[in-house]
């Protein structure tokens, strides 16, 4: 990471309603609700990433829920997430996510989705040692195995609010479209 800090992210976790969401998060949540119908969650195959708008898919991450021992292994890592975070983790465990402090937080968030079988909106705020203010929003949605268990967790990052500073934190280059959003 190019910008590091001592403090963890300030994190807010809510069980969202449609009114709490906008942009890409709203699109994904609507699709999730539409496909699940009366079930507690849709299945991975029923949800089908390719039915999302093309601009949304690169911001998605899908995580297989493993048991004995519990682990979370990335089955899909969107290209824009790779660009932002400077890592591609398809086929790898959440424990390999850098920085390690975020890996631990992600593990806790995924475990909470599995335990509660609920959708969560995660808002993270952070100030780096150099005073750089960052914000991240993501939605975590359970996808069932067709029965009572969570088989996959879909995560979508809200890219509409990202600035050059978010990329700077990870030491990556922002897309040209962000040339006017935030930073020096």
Q: Report the CATH number that the domain containing residue 122 is assigned in CATH.
A: 3.30.450.20
Q: 128-172: per-residue pLDDT in tens? A: 777 777 888 899 999 999 989 999 999 998 888 787 888 887 888
Give the rounded distance of the alpha carbon of 164 from its chain centre. 18
The residue segments making up the domain with residue 89 are 10-174
- pTM reported for the whole predicted model: 0.86
Give the separation between CA 12 and CA 28, rounded to whole angstroms: 20
Tell me, yes or no, whether 180 lies in a domain: no
Count of structural domains, the chain: 1
Q: Which residues pair with 121 in a beta bridge?
A: 14, 139
Tell me, yes or no, whether 3 lies in a domain: no
Give the separation between CA 143 and CA 63, rounded to whole angstroms: 10
Give the rounded distance of the alpha carbon of 11 from its chain centre. 13
Residue 2: predicted pLDDT: 41
Structure tokens at 45: 């195959």
Beta-strand runs (E) in the chain? 10-14, 60-66, 71-77, 120-127, 133-144, 150-157
Tell me, yes or no, whether 31 lies in a domain: yes
Nearest to 66 by CA among 180, 150, 167, 161: 150
Tell me, yes or no, whether 179 lies in a domain: no
Q: How confident is the model at residue 102 (pLDDT cuts 50, 70, 90)?
A: confident
């Amino acid at each position: 990471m190019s910008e590091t800090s001592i403090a963890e992210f300030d994190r807010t976790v809510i069980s969202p309603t449609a009114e709490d969401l906008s942009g890409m998060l709203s699109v994904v949540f609507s699709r999730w609700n539409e496909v699940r119908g009366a079930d507690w969650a849709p299945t991975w195959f029923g949800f089908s990433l390719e039915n999302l708008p093309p601009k949304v898919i690169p911001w998605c991450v899908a995580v297989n829920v493993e048991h004995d021992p519990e682990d979370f292994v990335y089955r899909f890592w969107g290209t824009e997430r790779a660009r932002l975070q400077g890592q591609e983790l398809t086929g790898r465990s959440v424990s390999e996510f850098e920085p390690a402090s975020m890996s631990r937080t992600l593990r806790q968030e995924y475990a909470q989705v599995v335990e509660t079988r609920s959708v969560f909106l995660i808002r993270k705020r952070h100030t780096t040692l150099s005073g750089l203010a960052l914000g991240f929003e993501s939605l975590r949605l359970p996808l069932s195995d067709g029965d009572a268990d969570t088989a996959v967790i879909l995560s979508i990052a809200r890219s509409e609010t990202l600035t050059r500073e978010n990329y700077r934190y990870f030491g990556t280059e922002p897309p040209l479209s962000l040339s006017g959003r935030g930073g020096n």
